Amino acid sequence: MGHAENAGDTMIRKGRGSLGFWGKGGVRFSLLLCLFWVAACGLKAPPIPPGKSLPAMPHALAVRPTASGFLLSWEVEGDAPAGFRVFRAPLSGADCDHCPPAYTLRAVLGPEARSFEDRADPERAFLYEVRGFLAGGAEGPGARVNTGTVEGKGL
């Protein structure tokens, strides 16, 4: 009878240790995988170098219609950023009031730039955003201007 009990104990021990992937190692692996997934999800931005701060928002952003589109101009206070990115989003009555603008990148400009002419239909309404950026790519806050409110346009 002692022999039968030992055989039963062995079977139980084998049963506990044969959980395969979900055994002790598998649970640890699964938890580690979840930890990496949680740490990796979310919006990441380029790093900001030590001792640097994000570029200031361009100010005095203005837009005026031209024969072939719109001329944007802006000013910068303090240190000039490494460059500027100009984005444009169409404005139309079909867009929902609460939806974020669907921006597309129109230009990447150098640090000396203080204006940009965009070729677009001057009879359409657009929302422009200009953002300064650091050498590593991190962007500061953007200044926005709406062409639908430009003087001299029939919108």
Question: If we measure between CA atoms, which residue out of 47, 12, 133 comes closest to residue 4?
Answer: 12
Which residues touch 47 (CB under 8 Å, ≥6 apart)?
Answer: 136, 138
Measure the CA–CA gap between 10 and 1, rounded to whole angstroms: 14
DSSP annotation of 122: T
CATH 2.60.40.10 assigned to domain 59-149? The reply is: yes
Domain boundaries, the chain: 2-40, 59-149
Measure the CA–CA gap between 118 and 34, rounded to whole angstroms: 46
pLDDT digit string (tens) for the chain, length 155 residues: 555 555 555 444 544 555 555 556 667 777 776 666 666 655 567 777 787 889 999 999 999 999 999 999 999 998 889 999 999 999 875 556 677 888 999 999 999 999 999 999 988 999 999 999 999 899 999 999 999 865 544 33
Report CA torsion sign: 20, 24, 26, 27: positive
